[in-house]
Structure 1
Amino acid sequence: MSSRSGDLHERAGRVLPGGNTRSTVFVPPHPPYAVSGRGCIVRDADGNEVYDCNNNYTSLLHGHAHPDIIRAASAALTSGTAFGLPTEAEIELAEILSERTGVPLWRFCNSGTEAVTMAIRAARAATGRDRIIRFHGSYHGTGNEVVDPTTAGVPRSVASDVLVLPQGDATALRNAIVEHRDDVAAILIDLMPNRAGLRPVTTEFASLVRHLATDHEIVLIVDEVITFRLGIGGLRSRYGIDADLTTVGKIIGGGFPVGAVGGTPEVLRSFNPTANGRVSWGGTFSANPVSMRAGQTALRLFAHDEMTRLNKLGDLFREELASAGLRVNGAGSLSRLILDDYQAGWWKLYEAGVLVGTNGLLALSTPMQEEDVATIANRVIGAMSSA
C-alpha cells in the first residue's frame, strides 16, 4: 500500500544513497518521515502520532518546540545566526557549564563527534604521546579513532594508535598501561555506554581508570555526550571522579547542533592563542549564538528538582518493564531495551505508538508526566508481549 513516507523515501533514493543521510535513523524497508513535534508527541507524514522516546537520540531533553527555547532561539535569529567574531552567548553558556560541573574551561564545537575528536587532539598535544585507549562496544561518534578499525574507509594505520579493551576488565587495562605507558596519551571512557547495552561501569572500575591515568600522567577523557543529563555534573558526579577532559553535547544545545569539551588549563593550554597555543581549531558554526542561547535556556530549565523528577520517572519506568519480564538496562531518564530482533521490535513499538532508537534506546523528556510514562510503559509491554 502506498504511503506518504514511502513516496518520500522513493524520492530520497534519487538524491541520497539508499535514500539515507543518517545511518542511525534507517529501518527497513524505510523509516517513517517526521512532519512535526510538540512536547513529547511526534506526527509523521502518514498522520500517525507517537510518543517520542527517541528525542533525536537523547538530545531533546525538553521535547519538541518548548516555548521558552523557541523564544530564545528566535531572539538570537533576529540578531544574526553566526559571525566571524565571538559573542557574549558563548561566554554565558560556558559559565553555566562551569558552574554546573566544576570544570573551569570550555571550548565549543558542533557535535559530539567533534567534541571527542577535539578532546583526543588536546590529550595528544598535552602529553606529546599518540596512543589512545578506549573500550569495546562504546560509541564515541564517527571519527576514525573511535570506530571499529576494520570499518570500510578507516586507514589501517589507525589500529596501531588505538588500543580497544573490554569494558570493565581491570587486568586488561593494567596490562595495557604497563606495556604502553610511555605512548598512551588518553583513556577514553563512557561510564554507561549506549551501544554496549547502557550498563553502568562499576565504581571500582571507574576509580581504577582514574587512578591509573593519574599515576601514568595519562589524560582521562570522560565522554558524557549522552549521559550528561543524568546529573547536574553529569554521570561522573555519581562516581565521584574527576575527568581531565569531559565531552558533552546533545542536551546543551536545546535542540540545535552543539558539542563541547571541558577541561583544566593544564590540558587545554595548547588551545590558548594568547599563550603560543600549538593547536589551531576553528569551526565555522562553532559557538553560534542560536545554539548557545537555546542551550542556556535548556540547561536553566533543567535544574536539580526537574532532573530528579525525570530520573525518578525513568527508574519507575524500568521497574515496570522489568516486572513484566522485559530485559532493560539504564539509569535515570535513559533506558535501553535488550531485544532479540531490534528491527522487528522497533516496528512493533512504533505501531504501538512509541518511537525509540533503532537499537532500543529510550530517553524521557521533561514534557512527560507520570501518566505519560505509565502509558508508554503499557504500550511497550503490550508490543513486546506480542513479539
Structure 2
Amino acid sequence: MAGSWQVGQRSRDSFARAQRVFPDGTSRVTVERNPVPLYMERGLGSHVIDVDGNRFLDLNGNFTSLIHGHAFAPIVEALTNQLELGSCFANPTESEVALAELLCERIPQVERVRFVNTGTEAVLFAIKAARAFTGRSKIAKLEGAYHGAYDWAEVSLAATPDNWGDPSCPRSTPSYRGMPASVLDEVVVLRFNDADAARQLLSLHGRNLAAVIVDPMPSRAGLIAPKPEFIAVVQETARANGILVIADEVLNLRQSFEGACVLYGLVPDLITMGKIIGGGLPIGAVGGRQDVMRVFDASEGRPLLPQGGTFSANPLSITAGLVAMQHLDHAAFAHLDSLGDVVRNGIARAISKVGAPLCVTGAASLFRIHPMIQVPNDNREAYPAPRALELMKQLVQFFAENGIVLPYGAAASLSTAMNRSDIEFVVDVFAGFLESHGARWI
C-alpha cells in the first residue's frame, strides 16, 4: 500500500488563492486539511476526483447527505428538467406537496411538514415551535450532540474535561467566545445514556422546559446507540412534565425506511430532517404532530410562529429530494444495511486480530472508528486523549494515501452507489493501517 502520497499541486495552488479571500483559506470549519485541503473537481457514484486527477472512494458523502452517491442519474435528469422550468418562485409548487406527502406517509409521527433551507434551520424552528406551543423558553439537550448553528442548540457542543462539570449535572458551556450567558441559563444539559440523571434534571426543570431535543445516535458525540432505558426515561419524564420531545434526524433519518426513531423506540412530538431529503441540495424540514405544527398556521392571520425563507421549498431542492427519497425503497435500505454490517464487522475483526486500542460504532450505513479499546457509552467516554487524536490523523492520512476519503472524528457513511468490493477495499486498507503499526499495538 502507498505511503508517501501528498496533496497535488493544483489543490495547493487553489488553497494559496483561497487564503487571500477566506479567513483561514476555507469557507466552512468542517473542511479537513493536512495541512492543505483536497479541491474536488467532480464526483461520480461512490467516488470523487480531485483537481489533480486523484480518485477516492468517498466515505464522507458531503457529511452523510449523498445517500445515492455523486451525480445520481435520476436526480441529474430531474434537476435538468426543473432548471429549464425555473429555479425558484415566490409561489408554491406541486413538487413540494409531493415530497411532503412522501414524508408524512413514510415517517411515523409526521402529520404535517414545513420546509426550510438547512438542518440548522429545521432545529431552530422546531425549538421555536416547542416554545410557541408550550409558552416556555428553556430547552434540554445532550452534551456533545451537534444540532446545527443555533445558539441554544450549540450549548455544550464543545464541552471538554476542563469545563463539562459534574457527571450527574453537566455544566452548560459556550461553543464560541461571546455566547450570551442568558443562553447558557436557558439550556439544561443531559448526559447521553444516563437515565437516572436525565429523570432528575428533566423533573427539576420540567415546569420551564419547552422541549428536550434528542439525536437518536449523535454523530459528534460518538455515533453510539442509545440505551432503551434512557429513551424510555426521557420520554416518560417529558410527558409527565408537559415537555415536547424533538428528535433530530437530520443525519440519522438514513438509518431506515422510516428513520431512526422507530429503531430505538423514540416517539417524538417533532422531528427535524435534512441532508438525504434534499438529494444533494440544501434543505431542511420540521415535521410532527398536527396540533403542535399548527403554530405555523397563518390561514387566519399572524401565526404563533411566523416562518418564511426566500429559498424554503425551492423547486430544485424539492425535486432532487423527491427523486432521492423515491429511490430509497426497502431494497435500497437492505443494500445499505448489508454493506454497513460488512464494514463494521470487518473493522472489528481486524482490530481484534492485532489487539489494537480501537473500536467501531455505528448502525445501518454509518460507522465511526474510535481510538479507544472499549465502546464508549456517551460523549465523555468518547472524548479522545491528545495521543489518540494523533493516531486518528494518521489513520485519515493512510486512507487518503490509499484512495479513500475518511472523515476525521465524525461519522463515515455509505451510499447506494457502493458495492461489496468497495467495502472490502475499506476493510483491507484499515487492516493495512493496523499492520503498518505492527508491534506498536503491543
TM-score normalised by structure 1 residue count: 0.97
Counterpart of 2:270 in structure 1 is: 245
1:365 aligned onto 2:385: no
Amino acid at match of 1:55: G
Q: 1:172 to 1:291 in 2, by over 3 A?
A: same
CA distance in 2, matches of 1:39, 1:19: 28
Counterpart of 1:200 in structure 2 is: 225
Counterpart of 2:147 in structure 1 is: 140
Counterpart of 1:42 in structure 2 is: 48
Counterpart of 2:283 in structure 1 is: 258
Counterpart of 1:347 in structure 2 is: 397
* Equivalent of residue 279 in structure 1, options 288, 292, 305: 305
Q: C-alpha offsets along residues 224-266 of structure 1, whole Å, 9 cap, x if unaligned?
A: 1111011111111112332100011000000000110111121
* Equivalent of residue 377 in structure 1, options 420, 427, 433: 427
Q: Cα distance, 1:343 vs. partner? A: 2.6
* Equivalent of residue 309 in structure 1, options 320, 335, 350: 335
Q: Which runs of 5+ in 2 are unaligned?
A: 1-5, 157-172, 352-357, 372-387, 438-442
CA distance in 2, matches of 1:384, 1:195: 24
Amino acid at match of 1:117: L
Counterpart of 1:116 in structure 2 is: 123
CA distance in 2, matches of 1:113, 1:375: 34
Q: Cα distance, 1:98 vs. partner? A: 0.6
Counterpart of 1:296 in structure 2 is: 322
CA distance in 1, matches of 2:347, 2:271: 32
Q: Cα distance, 1:384 vs. partner? A: 4.3
1:178 aligned onto 2:184: no
Could you say what secondary structure the match of 2:146 adopts? coil
Amino acid at match of 1:253: G
Aligned length: 387
1:78 aligned onto 2:84: yes
Query: Which deviates the most, 286-295 or 168-177?
Result: 168-177
TM-score normalised by structure 2 residue count: 0.85
Could you say what secondary structure the match of 1:220 adopts? strand
Query: Which deviates the most, 376-385 or 20-29?
Result: 376-385
Q: 1:130 to 1:365 in 2, by over 3 A?
A: same
Counterpart of 2:133 in structure 1 is: 126
Counterpart of 2:379 in structure 1 is: none
CA distance in 1, matches of 2:117, 2:206: 32
Contact 1:132/1:161, CA 8 A, preserved across alignment: yes
Q: Cα distance, 1:360 vs. partner? A: 4.4
Task: Quote the sequence identity (%).
Answer: 41
Contact 2:69/2:416, CA 8 A, preserved across alignment: yes
1:224 aligned onto 2:249: yes
Could you say what secondary structure the match of 1:91 adopts? helix
Query: Which deviates the most, 370-379 or 335-344?
Result: 335-344
Query: Which deviates the most, 236-245 or 157-166?
Result: 236-245
Could you say what secondary structure the match of 1:365 adopts? coil
CA distance in 2, matches of 1:347, 1:71: 36
Contact 2:220/2:410, CA 8 A, preserved across alignment: no
Query: Which deviates the most, 377-386 or 33-42?
Result: 377-386
Q: Cα distance, 1:274 vs. partner? A: 1.1
Contact 1:354/1:380, CA 8 A, preserved across alignment: no
Q: C-alpha offsets along residues 332-365 of structure 1, whole Å, 9 cap, x if unaligned?
A: 1000011323333222211111112221421000
| Runs of at least 4 residues off by over 6 Å | none
Counterpart of 2:349 in structure 1 is: 323
CA distance in 2, matches of 1:21, 1:192: 27
Contact 2:215/2:247, CA 8 A, preserved across alignment: yes
Counterpart of 1:386 in structure 2 is: 436
Q: Cα distance, 1:383 vs. partner? A: 2.8
Amino acid at match of 1:159: L
Q: Which runs of 5+ in 1 are unaligned?
A: none
Q: Cα distance, 1:386 vs. partner? A: 2.4
Could you say what secondary structure the match of 1:319 adopts? helix
Amino acid at match of 1:331: A
Query: Which deviates the most, 203-212 or 64-73?
Result: 203-212
Counterpart of 2:114 in structure 1 is: 107
Q: C-alpha offsets along residues 187-210 of structure 1, whole Å, 9 cap, x if unaligned?
A: 000111111110011122112211
Could you say what secondary structure the match of 1:157 adopts? helix
Contact 2:206/2:238, CA 8 A, preserved across alignment: no
Counterpart of 1:356 in structure 2 is: 406
CA distance in 2, matches of 1:21, 1:154: 21
Contact 2:347/2:431, CA 8 A, preserved across alignment: yes
Contact 2:74/2:323, CA 8 A, preserved across alignment: yes
Contact 2:198/2:233, CA 8 A, preserved across alignment: no
